[in-house]
Structure 1
Amino acid sequence: MKKIAVFDAADYLDNDVVIAEYLNAALEDENPNVFLQAIADVAKARGMTKLAKDTGLGRESLYKALAPGAKPRYDTIIKLVRALGVELHTSPAHAGQA
C-alpha cells in the first residue's frame, strides 16, 4: 500500500514573491476564509513564534484569529500582513471605467 503525503501549502511558501502571489490568488476568492487560510499557511511557513513576536500578539491569539470560521479584527489582519512582509494594494476592478 502506498502512502500519500498530505499537501501542506506552507512547504512551498519559501520566498517573498511566492508568498505575495499566493496571498493575491487567495484575495481573488469571494470566500474570506480562503484569505485567512492563506495567511495561516504563510504564518506557518514563517513560524508562528516569530510572527507572534513581530506582531506583538500571543501565539494563542494568532491561532484563534486564523482558525477556520474566525472573524479577526481588521487591525489584527493588518498587523499580520505587515509582519509577513507583504503589502495590500487596491486597483480599479474594471480599468477604464469612471
Structure 2
Amino acid sequence: MSKIETTRFDAADYLGSAEDAAAYLDAYLEDGSLAELRAALDTVARSRGMSDLAQKTGLTRAGLYKSLGKRGNPSLETIQTILHAMGMRLAIEPVESEEKREYA
C-alpha cells in the first residue's frame, strides 16, 4: 500500500477576492475570540502579501509579523491601518433591535 501525501491547509491560499477576505474576517468578528480574529487577520494579510502590505501601511514586515503572530497583540490603530491598506474597514451594527434592548 502506498503512502498518501498530504499538504498543510492554509486558508490564505483561498482568499482571492476582497469579498472573500471580508467575509472571512467578518465570520471571526462575529463568532471568534480576539486571538482567533488576530489569526484571521494574519491569514488575510499573508494572502495579500506581507511585503506589499508593509509598504502600504508604513509598517515593517517584521512589525507586521510580530503584531499578527501567535503572541501578537495589535492595537486598534494597527488593525485599522492594516484593514485600510487592504481596502477594508471595521463596522459596528446592533446585535438586537432597540425595542428589545433594556436600558439602565
Scaled to the shorter chain, the TM-score interval is over 0.9
Alignment of 1:72-87 (within 5 A): 72-87=74-89
Decide which structure has the larger Cα Rg and report it: 2
- 5+ unaligned residues in a row in structure 1: which ranges? none
Indicate the RMSD between aligned Cα atoms, in angstroms. 1.2
Aligned residues: 98
Percent of aligned positions that are identical? 38
1:30 Cα deviation after fit: 4.2
2:33 alignment partner in structure 1: 31
1:39 Cα deviation after fit: 0.9
1:6 aligns with 2:12: no
2:91 alignment partner in structure 1: 89
Counterparts of 1:26 and 1:32, CA distance in 2: 9
TM-score (ref. length: structure 1): 0.93
Q: CA offsets per residue over residues 39-96 of structure 1, 9 Å max, x none? A: 1111111100000000000000000000113211111111011111112111111124
Counterparts of 2:8 and 2:32, CA distance in 1: 26
Counterparts of 2:31 and 2:94, CA distance in 1: 17
Q: Which amino acid aligns with 1:41?
A: T
Q: Which amino acid aligns with 1:93?
A: V
- Using CA pairs below 8 Å that are at least 6 residues apart, which structure has the higher relative contact order? 1
Consecutive aligned runs of 4 or more in structure 1 exceeding 2 Å deviation: 95-98
Counterparts of 1:55 and 1:67, CA distance in 2: 17
